[in-house]
């Protein structure tokens, strides 16, 4: 039987700021799904995948920077114990670990597939395949920054300031292509989606999960 997202967050010791990010992504994905008029998609699979896509992110954490994760000492120790198990199995491959978690907690095969596809480097292939469920989650992730909803341009500009090793120009190009394709099948202007609506929906869900 499929576990609840709340159970996953609890058992994976997920920090509140990470829950809020994933719930912001899920909130935006839900708005897109609610306004979708294109090829058939499964809203639940999409929203579950959005709510889980960064579940293994702590694999890459530097726990010397404890305050960054808004955890007290006891919570940090619990998270380190969980992360140590993941690292023993996956090294620092957070992507494969996230897919494993989705499968472990018996989310649908399609949810696990979408989590597996939530990787910006795959967007071009997903566009070519018109794999809309995975595109919606990737696009929603691209629109959510540290403080909430951004344009793709704003998100990429922010990432460029903090990371120097990734090909953000190609991410920007592919993200805009995905936006154009998704926009064809959505009743609202994607860049007119209300930031407060996303924030209120995400914070409401986050408060229920912690």
Let me know: does 55 contact 14? Beta carbons within 8 Å.
yes
Cα 26 to chain centroid, rounded:
7
Torsion from C-alpha of 174, 169, 196, 56, nearest 10 degrees? 80
pLDDT by residue for the chain (210 residues), tens only, comes to 778 999 999 999 999 889 999 999 999 999 999 999 999 999 999 999 999 999 999 998 887 765 566 778 888 889 999 999 999 999 989 999 999 999 999 999 999 999 999 999 999 999 999 999 999 999 999 999 989 999 999 999 999 888 777 789 999 999 999 999 999 999 999 999 999 999 988 887 777 765
| Sequence spans of domains, the chain | 5-209
pTM over 0.85? The answer is yes
CA torsion sign for 107, 124, 59, 210 is negative
- d(Cα 144, Cα 20) in Å, to the nearest integer? 10
Helix intervals (H) in 35-167: 43-52, 73-90, 94-104, 109-117, 123-129, 132-143, 152-162
| DSSP at 1 | -
- d(Cα 7, Cα 13) in Å, to the nearest integer? 10
Is 186 in a helix, a strand, or coil? strand
Write out the H or E segment, with its range, that includes residue 190. none
Please report, in angstroms and rounded to a whole number, the separation of the first and last CA atoms in the chain.
22
């Amino acid at each position: 039987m499929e576990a609840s997202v709340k159970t996953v967050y609890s058992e994976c010791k997920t920090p509140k700021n990470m829950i809020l990010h994933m719930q912001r992504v899920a909130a935006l994905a839900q708005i897109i799904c609610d306004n979708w008029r294109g090829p058939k998609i499964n809203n639940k699979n999409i929203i579950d995948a959005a709510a889980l896509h960064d579940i293994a992110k702590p694999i890459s954490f530097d726990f010397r920077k404890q305050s960054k994760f808004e955890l007290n000492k006891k919570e940090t120790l619990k998270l380190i114990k969980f992360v140590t198990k993941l690292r023993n199995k996956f090294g620092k491959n957070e992507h494969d670990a996230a897919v494993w978690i989705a499968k472990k907690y018996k989310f649908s095969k399609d949810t696990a597939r979408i989590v597996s596809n939530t990787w910006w480097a795959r967007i071009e292939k997903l566009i070519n395949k018109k794999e809309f469920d995975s595109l919606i989650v990737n696009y929603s992730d691209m629109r959510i920054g540290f403080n909430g909803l951004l344009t793709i341009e704003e998100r990429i500009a922010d990432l460029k300031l903090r990371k120097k090793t990734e090909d953000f120009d190609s991410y920007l190009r592919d993200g805009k292509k995905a936006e154009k394709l998704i926009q064809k099948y959505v009743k609202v202007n994607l860049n007119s989606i209300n930031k407060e609506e996303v924030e209120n929906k995400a914070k409401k869900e986050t408060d229920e999960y912690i």
